[in-house]
Amino acid sequence: MSRSVTVTCPHCGSTLEIDIDAGVVTSHTPPKHEKKALDFDERLRLMESEKKRAADRMAEAMRAEKAKERILEDRFQKLLDEAKDAPDEPPPIKDIDL
């Protein structure tokens, strides 16, 4: 007999039934939302806030990309310096060379 747990998502309100032994979701019940009509001003405010969030995410992605480039350049320089300092070693002898 398998054990199951019913969980309600705090974000969207959907209900999931999870089989603990198998570790899978056995059923999903979507939340029942009442659609409410948005007035024009409220929708306009929502669109402006969505635009601002999108601009913020884009700016964060640009900062991360610039930081990524700098980090990779620093790592490359470090490895290049280590390679310059390390003595050149001959390649290992292969069995076929003997």
Evaluate if residue 32 carries a pLDDT over 90.
no
Mean of all residue pLDDT scores within the chain:
86
d(CA 87, CA 71): 26
| Token pair for 25 | 């979701």
Instruction: Give Cα 96 to chain centroid, integer Å.
Output: 47
The pLDDT score that the predictor gives to residue 31 is 86
The pLDDT score that the predictor gives to residue 13 is 84
Q: Residue 51, Cβ neighbours under 10 Å: how many?
A: 10
The arithmetic mean of pLDDT across residues 69-88, rounded, is 87
Evaluate if residue 73 carries a pLDDT over 80.
yes
